[in-house]
Chain A
Amino acid sequence: MHRFANPTRFLKLAAIIQPWVAGITLGLFAIGLYMAFFTAPPDYQQGESVRIMYVHVPSAWMGMFCYAAMAVASAVALVWKHPLADVAGKATAPVGAAFTFLALATGSLWGKPMWGTWWVWDARLTSMLILLFLYIGYMALQGAFDDRARGARASAILALVGVVNLPIIKFSVDWWNTLHQPASVIKMDGPSIHPDMLWPLLIMAVAFKTYYVWILLVRIRQELTANKVRILRLKQVHGG
């Protein structure tokens, strides 16, 4: 792994991988969205509203997945001081925040016709909102210091503290009474979702993940380039 933690080597590799990841992402989205809108059947209770799930569930998974990725990057940055880890964490935060917001928004749109309310303060919805706040806090803390290294350290610590929220989100529906339904896919006795609906959901979930890899590569390359420009500028100013 140390080999790829070298920014120069990473940039070379990223340039090769990126178009492939982009192609796979677009292909998966085309298949996934087509299935979600056209081949997937309506639900026996929810009717056509069930199609919101094909965006809602992968978004929620992405929100949690990105947070886990950000926390791992933060731990690596704090402990091993790998130059790429800080950049990776920083690049992940807005992506995770966007998908967490999307999960909350699509859930709200589904909740109104199905439950009869846009929002309820149950454990699942509240813990998901806290996840969004953790992302926002992470991003705010990063920019709150004049010294970028201190900002990176402070936000990395926040990211690690917030990890405790991930199992709370996952098990909130089992530990407490909630309005949100319990897990349908990742549970002990197998999925309780019809295969005709499960397949498009899984394809969408994979499409979201490859999208993350794609956008992560773009953002890390951009951040590394920006760092280079900043160093050149500093040299210009000081070297005169």
Chain B
Amino acid sequence: MPMKRKHKRLTFVMIGVSLVGVAVGLVLFALGDGVSLFHSPTDIVVKKPSPEQRVRLGGLVEEGSVLREEGSAVVQFKVTDLEHSVQVVYKGLLPDLFREGQGIVTTGKVVDGTLVAEEVLAKHDENYMPPEAVEALKQSGQWKPDDGAERMEMAK
């Protein structure tokens, strides 16, 4: 029995949409990490990019690693994925959300294992809470400032 025109068109549309889906899926799969905005500290440590190459590094600001030089805008800190960490030096204003334990993304060139940053961006996490709720969590001992760190672990 010949197909009704309606059904023919439906089949055509469905096959078309799935083909486009597969094609785009393959392209994105091939691009892979190229689509990612930044590299992890482990990537930087393992791949050792050349000093001419601009790289984007993302991770958490290591607790206790932030050093500010007296009387200048130079800041030094370490970015970690809890496996490896990379020393970063930056001169300029930091975004409001920059703090120890915070996720950040920084762009610059790696010279002798130190990333000389041109830009530091703060990453915000997916947790939204009023300050009182954070206080309550801290008092009951359920506060986990490393939620972001856990997520980075899982993402690997």
Interface residues of chain A, those whose CB is within 8 Å of chain B, are 41-46, 50, 53, 75, 78-80, 113-117, 120-123, 157, 160-161, 163-164, 168, 175-179, 181-184, 187, 192-194, 196-197
Contact = CB atoms under 8 A, between A and B. Distances in A.
Contacts of B155: 177
Contact of B124 (A45, A117, A160, A183): A45
Given A123-B36, A123-B37, A160-B17, A46 B124 contact: yes
Interface of B is mostly: mixed
Contacts of A42: 130-131
A121 B37 CA distance: 7
Q: Residue among B28, B120, B121, B124 with the most chain A CB within 10 A?
A: B124
Given A114-B122, A193-B127, 6 more contacts: A41-B131, A43-B129, A160-B13, A177-B37, A184-B126, A194-B129
A44 B37 contact: no
Contacts of B121: 115-117, 120, 179
A78 B131 CA distance: 52
A82 B21 CA distance: 26
Nearest to A124: B37
Given A45-B97, A178-B37, A79 B9 contact: yes
Given A44-B133, A75-B13, A163-B17, A197 B128 contact: yes
A78 B24 CA distance: 22
B58 A114 contact: no
Contacts of A113: 95-96
Given A75-B13, A78-B13, A194-B130, A123 B35 contact: yes
Identify the interface centre among A123, A161, A182, A197: most chain B CB within 10 Å of its CB.
A161
B128 A50 contact: yes
Given A116-B121, A176-B36, A164 B24 contact: yes
A44 B36 contact: no
Contacts of A43: 128-131
A57 to B, nearest CB: 10
Contacts of B122: 114-116
Nearest to B120: A116
A78 B123 contact: no
